[in-house]
Structure 1
């Protein structure tokens, strides 16, 4: 069987390659892709290929590089030792943008009734957002800021609402569409401004107390320093966006005097966070969707055939401010 796979052949070179799918092993299932979500920030960083030495990015991204990690698919064949999964099942799997693929049956999650393929395609990003919110150790009624309203920031806003934040201050200079999406996601205060210019407005919103927690979801090295000024004494700054150039990242001027905690959290922790497994977090996300406590439909802005991948990534590299959820629809092939 042949599969069309999206590959970054080199820096800023995107190809759609036809490749052979290996023979099915006894404990594997074969799947046909339905929908996969582009992680726009992560994947454009991988494509751009600018990494500081000794970063996670430098060790992870080797060309040819196969992007993607949030896939919804249908099972079309099962190996002889597979248990509990059958052809026709809809599954989520953290795998690259591929038309057909084999995967160990224990590495997928069968979707519950009511969760469609577009909802499922957000699972990996929803889990990363969830583990970031868990890292903050929120207390009921805290005032929280979110800097960067891309797909991950929008999901953080939704989890903050579910976790009981009193005020959710959404900050992004990019576009009014992102601000409007954040309002629908649950933000109570909307600041369409650069983080460096948000200080006075945050003072007004909080009556001078400042934020209890702020999330930097941008991955941009210039954001950390002004972000630390938005929290009060003993405040927490959660770095959920991983910059590829940390040599350009600096602490703010009052981190020590205000006893600010800077908390890092990486996507790899979403596989198991303090004993909470990936499937536990996936199930919570699905339950929130089914209970109408979360929604991703308003976050989907673009749907494309995988054959359009070179043009899609070229557009995202130039200006992704108008993009939120960008879906590869494999049923268009």
Structure 2
């Protein structure tokens, strides 16, 4: 195998599959045949639409032609001479683009337990970000939490907040498909327009609010129903940061604002200093899914065959009502 078919965003709102050479298989590499890939309605949507302000880190990162993607599940079909932890036939999760085959490092590929399906395993990368967000909030057993933004990442944050011991998880806004998915996970849902009054009446203000929208206007709104001394975690990475306002309540209520980004999750192995490297996050995710303590049922709302990768991206350009997870199935 010397080439792969890979999705490339050639210009804003244009994607095509291109045949590109695969890197040579190094001694610590594996060759993976793709089975499933998960699109992000946050990052991939911004990349596909070029929906970001000039001068931002988005503008520095995204240069067309651009190769998107970071969530692949596949099967190992070859290994380098020095690979020891993985074998041909293993199912793995790895951070590759939307492509039929990928060469991946053994150290950055994660064997999937038999108890975890492909459709669940493909959430591994977003799951690591969600875990990182909840840990950064330093939750306390019995906290009240709010999650604003119920796309793929917000759904995971809501579930991890519950796993971490939140007494209540309020999920704010979204269409009925997203709200129903949050309710299935035990959350209390509330329309955005009613969130302030409903949450303050029930809790007096949440201890932690997670802004998973990427919208610059949400931070100030979330501060209004976050308690004095509470924490607001910015998980959604707005492509228009100059428009993001803190609002008056953050200062008046002595609230803490915490930023979270995928790039801050350590890729190194666990050390006395690095307690939660990426691999350990993925391992916990697989364990919770296998133990049925993390329910992902219903989060994939759209499936596309490998022959319609462009259709999957075009879905990102539509109104996202009724959309949570968008899956590409490379086996069909």
State the TM-score bracket (shorter-chain normalisation). over 0.9
Report the Cα distance in structure 1 between the residues aligned to 2:297 and 2:19, rounded to whole angstroms: 31
Give secondary structure in 1 for the equivalent of 2:257: strand
Q: Deviations over 1:259-309 (max 9, x none)?
A: 111110101123359431111111111111111110112211111113212
Runs of 4+ in 1 over 6 A off after TM superposition: none
State which of 215, 224, 239 in structure 2 corresponds to 1:220.
215
Query: Aligned residue pairs: how many?
Result: 326
What runs of 5+ residues in structure 1 fail to find an aligned partner?
A: none
State which of 198, 203, 210 in structure 1 corresponds to 2:200.
203
Equivalent position of 1:269 in the other structure: 264
* 1:169 and 1:191 in contact (8 A); partners too: yes
Q: Deviations over 1:21-66 (max 9, x none)?
A: 2332222111100111111111001112133344321222121111
Give secondary structure in 1 for the equivalent of 2:184: helix
Give secondary structure in 1 for the equivalent of 2:264: helix
**Does residue 1:69 correspond to 2:70, yes or no?**
yes
Report the Cα distance in structure 2 between the residues aligned to 1:92 and 1:313, rounded to whole angstroms: 21
Q: Which moved more, 1:57-66 or 1:30-39?
A: 57-66
Compute the RMSD of aligned alpha carbons.
Answer: 1.5
Report the Cα distance in structure 2 between the residues aligned to 1:274 and 1:148, rounded to whole angstroms: 29
Q: Deviations over 1:148-172 (max 9, x none)?
A: 1111111111111111101111101
Equivalent position of 1:331 in the other structure: 331
Report the Cα distance in structure 2 between the residues aligned to 1:260 and 1:106, rounded to whole angstroms: 39
**Cα displacement (A) at 1:116:** 2.1
Q: How does 1:60-139 map to 2 (within 5 A)?
A: 60-139=61-140
* 2:304 and 2:311 in contact (8 A); partners too: no
TM-score (norm 2): 0.94
Report the Cα distance in structure 2 between the residues aligned to 1:103 and 1:263, rounded to whole angstroms: 32
Give secondary structure in 1 for the equivalent of 2:132: helix
Q: Deviations over 1:213-255 (max 9, x none)?
A: 1000000111111111111111111000000110111011221
Equivalent position of 1:281 in the other structure: 281
Report the Cα distance in structure 2 between the residues aligned to 1:192 and 1:83, rounded to whole angstroms: 51
Q: How does 1:308-323 map to 2 (within 5 A)?
A: 308-323=308-323
**Cα displacement (A) at 1:193:** 2.9
Report the Cα distance in structure 2 between the residues aligned to 1:12 and 1:287, rounded to whole angstroms: 38
**Cα displacement (A) at 1:78:** 1.1
Give secondary structure in 1 for the equivalent of 2:42: helix
Equivalent position of 1:260 in the other structure: 255
Report the Cα distance in structure 2 between the residues aligned to 1:279 and 1:186, rounded to whole angstroms: 28
